[in-house]
């Protein structure tokens, strides 16, 4: 081996890619031990508990990827292969790699951005705290000046439900469909949703608050309790973490401190950390106001937002039942969704987790068998139970390309499908592209320019409608894969050439209704395989889909709603 490119935009060859994928799967426990060591030495810092390195969030933090790259180089050295040159785009990664024996004659090349990019990033890092503070202050001032939302009965114990409010979903519920409708007026009176406004421009904040206050659901706003000092505390997070003293972080003979320090400075997790600290202070203010809380339901993604909330609840309301509702399909390499014992000990994970189906229970306990996990209604997936039958067009074969939420992965997926479309007869083919809500279809299309095929068309149709109009789904790390399979629609899961393979399909499901693909050739083979299904096989796949539906998507029912809210009986959520 002459050159090993470990930079962010590199693509491994097949052999290295397969080895790296294996390393990523096999090193989760060791990585958890590394993060435990980091927290154990500094667990008095709330900032450390919500920061990027301890998040284990592989989408916002590069730490696990870089950790696995170190293990990759170790494996190559053990295999007696000579590496003449290593390309990295991180000085910290180089400082860790040079500790490995066997690289004394290896040349390191650090890919640096242009001067313009370096200056731009420097200025952004300086401006980020100020813009974050001004944005939060503007939002708080606006609320306190023009809006007032108080508890109807401040003495009665209340149930709080964490949620998000975004364009198109201020008054309309996107996260707990059917919950409010399942309750009677008496049950509703002490239930309040706590909204976090996201993806909303500053000049739309006023109308967002206005819409929320006009909604049928009751809302309790953080802004009613927060102080300006809470915002200042939150936005200065990035300054305080720089002064956390970490006396080395040696693990298995290698000091990973350079990578941790680099990740602490990474701005990708800054906004989430701010949100987590605001949630922490919000709970503190509730306690100061002597708000009596009966139960808390958190829309749980194990982000810094959630960690701050649960740390606050454990510190100020230790006896209140708390359920972390995981309302979507967990992907196998979303490490943060699989709680650890040290996270439980430090109070940053829910006392109890509710998945959307009984089939997820054991998997979520993989790192901590003592974590309480059950299941609750799959609120966002009720269409799987009460929607109409699948009825794709008979005059063409429709392929739904469901893009993941990450931009680069979406571009790669489209690239592969363009190459596929060049290899097959497309006269009877129709390609529908469904982007994730956070992605701009104009930005995606602009990447390809004139290469954009005429047969590729974007669709804004709701997922529940789109899935019933297609013959096959091609996607990557999206939960739509399992959703499609639950309807008996076959799935092609396209793997990334370099990086983590975030597979949303549980390993217990055999590769009958779905196929993993890592090349244009295998994608084409998969499409042709499912295109040739006869009616008997379609019926068999429908029955398999029904089994998947029953295992992984609990239907919404009044009984299920009352259980997760703790209104009826002793059980908070379903048991396996």
Q: What is the 3-state secondary structure (H, E, C) of 65-126?
A: HHHHHHHHHHHHHHCCCCCCEEEECCHHHHHHHCCCCCCCCCEEEECCCCHHHHHHHHHHHH
Q: What is the pLDDT of residue 570?
A: 44
Q: What is the pLDDT of residue 499?
A: 67
Of the two residues 262 and 395, the one the predictor is more confident about is 262
In this predicted model, what pLDDT tens digit does every residue of 477-501 receive, in sequence order? Answer: 788 999 999 999 999 999 887 667 7
On whether the CB atoms of residues 573 and 375 are closer than 8 A, the answer is: yes
Exposure string over 189-213, b if 16+ CB within 10 A, otherwise e: ebbbbbbebeeeeeeebeebbebbe
Q: What is the pLDDT of residue 426?
A: 61
Q: What is the pLDDT of residue 487?
A: 96
Domains 154-195+292-382+561-576 and 385-552 share a fold: yes
Domain locations along the chain: 3-110, 154-195+292-382+561-576, 385-552
Q: For residue 529, give the H/E element and its range.
A: helix 520-531
Q: What is the pLDDT of residue 13?
A: 85
Spatial separation of the C-alpha atoms in residues 255 and 260, rounded to whole Å: 10
> Counting Cβ atoms within 10 Å, is residue 455 exposed (0-12), middle (13-18) or buried (19+)?
middle
CATH of domain 154-195+292-382+561-576: 3.40.50
Res. 241: pLDDT tops 90: no
In this predicted model, what pLDDT tens digit does every residue of 535-546 receive, in sequence order? Answer: 999 999 999 999
Q: What is the pLDDT of residue 572?
A: 47
pLDDT band at 131 (very low <50, low <70, confident <90, very high): confident
Res. 569: pLDDT tops 70: no
Report the 10 Å Cβ neighbour count for 21.
Answer: 20
Q: For residue 401, give the H/E element and its range.
A: strand 397-402
Spatial separation of the C-alpha atoms in residues 412 and 407, rounded to whole Å: 9
Q: What is the pLDDT of residue 294?
A: 96
Q: What is the pLDDT of residue 482?
A: 96
On whether the CB atoms of residues 311 and 347 are closer than 8 A, the answer is: yes
Q: Which superfamily does 385-552 belong to?
A: Glycogen Phosphorylase B; (3.40.50.2000)
DSSP type of residue 492: E
If phi > 0 it is left, if psi is from -120 to 50 it is alpha, else beta; for residue 290 that is left
Q: What is the pLDDT of residue 576?
A: 46
> Counting Cβ atoms within 10 Å, is residue 187 exposed (0-12), middle (13-18) or buried (19+)?
middle
Q: Locate 256 and state its tokens.
A: 């990973």
In this predicted model, what pLDDT tens digit does every residue of 152-166 receive, in sequence order? Answer: 766 789 999 999 999
Angle between helix 63-78 and 28-40 (nearest 10): 120
pTM score, whole prediction: 0.93
- Single out the residue of 263, 329, 267 nearest to residue 63, CA to CA: 263
Q: What is the pLDDT of residue 44?
A: 67
Q: What is the pLDDT of residue 50?
A: 95
Angle between helix 228-235 and 270-288 (nearest 10): 150
Res. 571: pLDDT tops 50: no
């Amino acid at each position: 081996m002459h050159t090993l490119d470990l930079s962010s935009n590199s693509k491994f060859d097949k052999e290295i890619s397969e080895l790296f994928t294996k390393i990523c799967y096999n090193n989760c426990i060791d990585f958890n031990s590394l993060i435990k060591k980091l927290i154990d030495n500094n667990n008095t810092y709330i900032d450390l508990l919500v920061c990027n390195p301890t998040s284990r969030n592989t989408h916002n933090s590069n730490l696990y990827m870089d950790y696995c790259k170190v293990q990759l180089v170790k494996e190559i050295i053990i295999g007696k292969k000579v590496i003449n040159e290593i390309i990295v785009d991180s000085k910290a990664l180089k400082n860790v790699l040079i500790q490995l024996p066997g690289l004394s004659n290896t040349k390191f090349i650090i890919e640096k951005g242009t001067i313009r990019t370096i200056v731009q990033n420097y200025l952004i890092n300086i401006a980020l705290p100020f813009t974050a503070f001004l944005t939060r202050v503007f939002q708080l001032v606006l609320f306190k000046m023009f809006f007032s939302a108080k508890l109807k009965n401040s003495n009665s114990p209340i149930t709080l439900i964490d949620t998000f409010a975004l364009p198109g979903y201020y008054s309309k519920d996107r996260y707990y469909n059917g919950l409010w409708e399942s309750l009677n007026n008496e049950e509703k009176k002490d239930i309040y949703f706590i909204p976090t406004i996201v993806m909303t421009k500053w000049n739309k904040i006023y109308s967002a608050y206005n819409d929320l206050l006009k909604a049928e659901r009751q809302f309790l706003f953080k802004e009613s309790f927060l102080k300006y000092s809470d915002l200042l505390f939150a936005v200065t997070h990035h300054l305080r973490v720089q002064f956390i003293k970490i006396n080395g972080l040696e693990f298995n003979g290698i000091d990973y401190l350079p990578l941790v320090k680099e990740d602490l400075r990474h701005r990708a997790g800054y906004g989430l950390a701010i949100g987590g600290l605001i949630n922490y202070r919000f709970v503190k203010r509730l306690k100061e106001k002597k708000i009596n809380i009966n139960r808390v339901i958190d829309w749980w993604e194990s982000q810094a937002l959630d960690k701050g909330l649960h740390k606050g609840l454990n510190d100020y309301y230790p006896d209140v039942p708390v359920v972390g509702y995981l309302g979507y399909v967990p992907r196998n390499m979303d490490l943060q969704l699989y709680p650890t014992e040290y996270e439980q000990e430090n109070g940053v994970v829910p006392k109890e987790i509710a998945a959307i189906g009984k089939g997820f229970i054991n998997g979520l306990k993989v790192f901590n068998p003592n974590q309480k996990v059950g299941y609750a209604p799959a609120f966002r997936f009720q269409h799987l139970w009460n929607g109409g039958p699948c009825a794709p067009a008979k005059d063409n074969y429709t392929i739904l390309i469901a893009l993941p939420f990450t931009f680069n992965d979406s571009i790669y997926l489209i690239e592969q499908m363009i190459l596929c479309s060049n290899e097959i007869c497309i006269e009877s083919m129709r390609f529908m592209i469904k982007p994730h809500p956070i992605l701009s279809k104009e930005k995606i299309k602009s990447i390809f320019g004139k290469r954009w095929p005429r047969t590729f068309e974007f669709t804004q149709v709701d997922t529940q409608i789109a899935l019933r109009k297609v013959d096959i789904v091609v996607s990557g790390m999206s939960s739509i894969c399992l959703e499609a399979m639950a309807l008996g629609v076959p799935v092609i899961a396209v793997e990334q050439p370099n990086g983590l393979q975030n597979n949303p399909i549980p390993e217990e499901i055999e590769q009958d209704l779905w196929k993993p693909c890592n090349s244009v050739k295998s994608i084409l083979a998969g499409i042709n395989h499912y295109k040739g299904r006869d009616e008997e096989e379609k019926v068999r796949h429908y029955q398999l889909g029904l089994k998947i539906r029953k295992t992984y998507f609990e239907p919404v029912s009044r009984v299920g709603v009352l259980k997760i809210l703790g209104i009826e009986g002793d059980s908070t959520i379903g048991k396996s």
